[in-house]
Amino acid sequence: MTTEEHLVRLRNGQPMTLSEKLNLVARLSLPSMMAQVSTIVMEYIDSGMVGHLGRDATASIGLVMTSLWLVGGLCTSFISGFTIQTALAIGGKDNRRARSLTFQSFFLVMAIALVICGVGALVHRSLPIWLGGRPSLVKDAGGYFLIFCLFMPVMALRQLCNSQLTASGNMKIPGILNTIVCFLDVIFNYVCIYPGKSLVLAGHVLTLPGLGLGVRGAALGSGCSEVVVGAFSLYFLMRKGSPLRLRRDEHYRLIRKDIVRAVKISLPMMFERLVMNAAQVVYTMIISPLGNVALAANSFAITTESLCYMPGYGISEAASTLVGQSIGAGRKKTAVSFGRITLTYGMLVQGGLGIVMFFVSPWMIGILSPDRSVIAQAVEVLHIEALIEAFYGAQIVCSGIFRGAEDTFVPSLMNFFSVWAVRIPLALLLTKVFGLGLLGVWIAMATELFFRGTIFIVRFITGRWMRRHERWTDHSGSVSI
């Protein structure tokens, strides 16, 4: 039975066995997981490219990376406000409304992306200084941030198209496209970062093109790959046979009710992104005075750790789709069942990868940098982080489960409390008072992620995330609470 046939059974209210649910979770999760992993592998290779330009090059990107996560997270949150509604509409077999939501999302998400683009252009010179960057980093860091912001509309378009496809249950195409963008990213980055080279092969001179733009070339290469794959993403969303393809015989307009609902879903998520990424910016400001070695080691450690937690985001996407479509079809118990399966799956996968990272981190960091002092600090902090990856996975997957049920407000408050009441104060205490440097920052991070994973698990077990959908009618006509 195909994935689409499983989803049709889900929408029609037909019973599903545990093995069928496990099969569906695996089919939806694996393409997204592979795409997330390939993304990080390519970023890992990119980091290695920049890393061989020197520690200052790596430190300049690390200085503004958290700020890029912040502005990118604003677009991502608003996209989710529409894709969650799309999953619910498709679960309820209302494809016409799903297409209307797709139409509206294009206008509003592009508008936000253009605003971010403009603001980024205005502040790119000052931002590295505000973050406490050393003079040697300011020019490259500001240029890197500017180029990424200029490509933000294209990045938002690709993410929106892929998210809408995912909400419809199509995980395969977004997975393939996310993998392609990574490979193109490496090719474009090589051309943009390094100057041209001449190689002699079998007596023939082969000239490899190169712009030699260094750190700025890394941003330009990534942006070019987004342009190419963004066009393909739009094509697959609008191709014939797609349930979200806009129809000429249907009239679309901006609907206040849908926009208000999207904003209500998105605002807590935007707040959450703001809180999380603002905390990362504060983290960067705490690490910056520790020197360029600490900044470079922190950047490499984050890239390496991503190989552990990005599969969790793939599972989270599947959880959001399955829970959303189950609720849209009026199947609360099925939604809870999919929640349990994906949560367990996410913790096992991410916990297992944490164990692997503990042992292979010296080798992985060694690929990224030849600097022994950078390697030593990065490996030390990764050994601490590896111990709590399962709980980090729990938080990531639970967030996807809660989003599928439109439960975004309370989780955003939980994130706010966890980061600002636990992580930041503990990081300041361990670095400023106990003088533990970068190690203290990552001990604080690990402690906070363990705490956050625990409280998210508790919320899932209590079932409070389903309160919005406490009353629902199943296909037999009975009402359950």
Number of neighbouring beta carbons within 10 Å of residue 424:
17
Length of the chain: 481
Which residue, among 385, 383, 386, 415, has the nearest Cα to 398 in the 3D structure?
415
Contact 67, 142 (CB under 8 A): no
CA distance 141 to 122: 14
Number of neighbouring beta carbons within 10 Å of residue 114:
13
Across 101-257, the runs of DSSP E, i.e. the strands, are: 195-201, 204-211
pLDDT confidence of residue 476: 34
Contacts by 453-458, CB closer than 8 A, 24 or more apart: 453/388, 453/390, 453/391, 453/392, 453/393, 453/394, 453/395, 454/391, 454/394, 455/414, 455/418, 456/394, 456/395, 456/398, 456/399, 456/411, 456/414, 457/343, 457/394, 457/398
pLDDT confidence of residue 472: 42
Number of neighbouring beta carbons within 10 Å of residue 467:
11
* Amino acid at the residue 106: F
pLDDT confidence of residue 39: 60
pLDDT in tens, 332-344: 899 999 999 999 9
Dihedrals phi, psi of 472, to nearest 5 degrees = -150, 155
How far is C-alpha 142 from the geometric centre of its chain's CA atoms?
Answer: 23
pLDDT confidence of residue 383: 95
Contact 162, 79 (CB under 8 A): no
Contact 343, 397 (CB under 8 A): yes
Dihedrals phi, psi of 3, to nearest 5 degrees = -60, -45
pLDDT confidence of residue 478: 32
Which three-class secondary structure state does DSSP give residue 461? helix
CA distance 29 to 343: 12
Which residue, among 112, 115, 106, has the nearest Cα to 83 in the 3D structure?
106
H/E stretch holding 473 reads strand 472-473
Dump the DSSP string for 394-453.
HHHHHHHHHHHTT--HHHHHHHHHHIIIIIHHHHHIIIIIS--HHHHHHHHHHHHHHHHH
**Residues of the chain with confidence (pLDDT) below 50:** 471-481
CA distance 324 to 404: 4
Which residues pair with residue 199 across a beta bridge? 206
Contact 213, 193 (CB under 8 A): yes
* Amino acid at the residue 252: Y
pLDDT in tens, 267-318: 887 787 777 777 877 877 888 888 888 888 988 898 888 888 888 888 998 8
281 Cβ neighbours under 8 A, 6+ residues apart: 66, 67, 70, 131
pLDDT confidence of residue 65: 76
pLDDT confidence of residue 473: 40
Give this prediction's pTM. Answer: 0.74
CA distance 381 to 2: 43
Number of neighbouring beta carbons within 10 Å of residue 30:
17
Q: Which DSSP symbol is given to 469?
A: G
pLDDT confidence of residue 481: 27
Q: What tokens appear for 67 in the block?
A: 């700020």
Which residue, among 480, 477, 336, has the nearest Cα to 13 in the 3D structure?
477
Which three-class secondary structure state does DSSP give residue 109? helix
Q: What tokens appear for 26 in the block?
A: 């695996």
pLDDT confidence of residue 194: 85
Angle CA 434–302–383, to nearest 5: 60
